[in-house]
Amino acid sequence: MQATTPVRAASAAAISVLSLFALAGTAHADWAPSKAIEFVVPFSPGGASDQMARVIQAAITKHELVKVPIVIQNKAGASGAEGILDVKSAAKEPHKILVASTGIFTVPMATGLPFNWKDLTPVGMVAQDEFVLWVNAETPYKTSADYLAEVKKNPGKFKMGGTSSKREDQVITAEVELRSGAKFTYIPYKGGGEASTQLVGKHIDSNPNNPSESIAQWRAGQVRALCLFSDKRSGYTAKVTDSQGWADIPTCKEQGLDVTYNMLRGFFLPGGVTPDQATFYQNLLAKVVETPEFKEYLEKNALRPDFMVGQKFVEFLKTDEARHAEIMKTAGFMSKK
């Protein structure tokens, strides 16, 4: 019989603990917070994650869903690693929760950060964020096919801007290059808002921004939406511009560009918390997603409703992690550490 190594024993323990929280579901929780809850946002103020955190903070406060304050802490250093490690280091602290995106996969993969999402306690996902391929409205391009045909004629001349390096925006750019044969020069910025501003100023030629980070420029007629990186069109039909709503944007696949990408919007507690503490936050999120404020936020910013907790969320994370590992390897973005 083969002996159990310390590494295997630790892995088995981690899986056991993870399964315990997965099974917690949204049952009754006897635990309740006794002091302010800290939402750790691993991005700068004003970005999509920060906007969502503040909408949820406001909804919780307005509807008195908890009896303690919600405090938002922006810790954006090292492309989000500062915030991630801050929550990792707070083991057994149930008053600190990470506001997470797919950076929870891509940052460790790209940097060699000593972290995996299994170091934390998965709480739940509240939505998935979409991405749109945007160009300046003064350009002649009407579809992604029109645009990419021109890019292919001039390899490296066209600039694609996005948030940080080797993160979601550059991952999408790499996928577009792989699927289309086009070649961009990628320009990283601190956030999607800055990338959108640079597109309006014609300092870049395109960007794959979240809807929330380009909605003001789209409404003002400064940028044009070429296609949505999704498996289906948005379900939001209300007009945002004079003539278009989110549902009017065709998917990239409809235009011959077979690239889909959605970004999870989820929450994680530190490792080592109790099942009751995890269940409390699962129940809280279940209440949040039913508030009119959160539903309005989803529609305004074209996020896809996708609420899940427990084992379903854990299985989603496993699948999404594997998908990102494949994409990052193909693009050459994996750390060699």
Q: Residues 26-72: pLDDT tens digits?
A: 466 689 999 999 999 998 787 788 889 999 999 999 999 999 999 99
Going by pLDDT thresholds of 50, 70 and 90, the confidence category of residue 322 is very high
Q: Encoding tokens for residue 169?
A: 């925006």
Rounded to a whole number, what is the distance in angstroms from the first to the last CA of the chain? 34
Q: CATH no. for residue 97? A: 3.40.190.150
SS3 165: coil
Q: Are residues 52 and 84 in the same domain?
A: yes
117 shares its domain with 21: yes
What pairs with residue 129 in β-bridges? Answer: 263
* Rounded CA separation 170/173 (Å): 5
d(CA 165, CA 170): 6
Q: Do 166 and 212 sit in the same domain of this protein?
A: yes
Q: What is the mean pLDDT of the chain?
A: 90
pLDDT tens readout for residues 287-302? 999 999 999 999 999 9
**Alpha-carbon gap, residue 118 to 128, rounded angstroms:** 20
**What is the residue whose two structure tokens read 């995890």?**
278
| 1 in a structural domain | no
What is this structure's pTM? 0.85
- Residue 80 confidence class, pLDDT cut points 50, 70, 90: confident
pLDDT for residue 13 is more than 50: no
Q: Domain total for the chain?
A: 2
Residues 189 and 271 in one domain: no
Tokens of 88: 């990792």
pLDDT digits (tens, 9 = 90+) for 203-231: 999 999 999 889 999 999 999 999 999 99
Q: Are residues 40 and 116 in the same domain?
A: yes
pLDDT at 24: 42
Phi, psi of 330 (to 5 degrees): -60, -40
The last residue of one of the domains, among 255, 286, 316, is 255
The CATH code of the domain that includes 237 is: 3.40.190.10
End position of a domain, from candidates 234, 255, 276: 255
With respect to residue 336, please indicate whether it lies within any of the assigned structural domains.
no
Helix runs in 181-274, H state only = 192-200, 215-219
Decide if pLDDT at 139 tops 90.
Answer: yes
Do 100 and 127 contact (CB within 8 A), yes or no? no
In this structure, the answer to whether residues 97 and 40 fall within a common structural domain is: yes
Tell me if 138 sits within 8 A of 200, measured CB to CB.
no
Domain limits for position 278: 6-129+263-331
How much is the average pLDDT of 239-265?
96
Domain membership of residue 102 (yes or no) is: yes
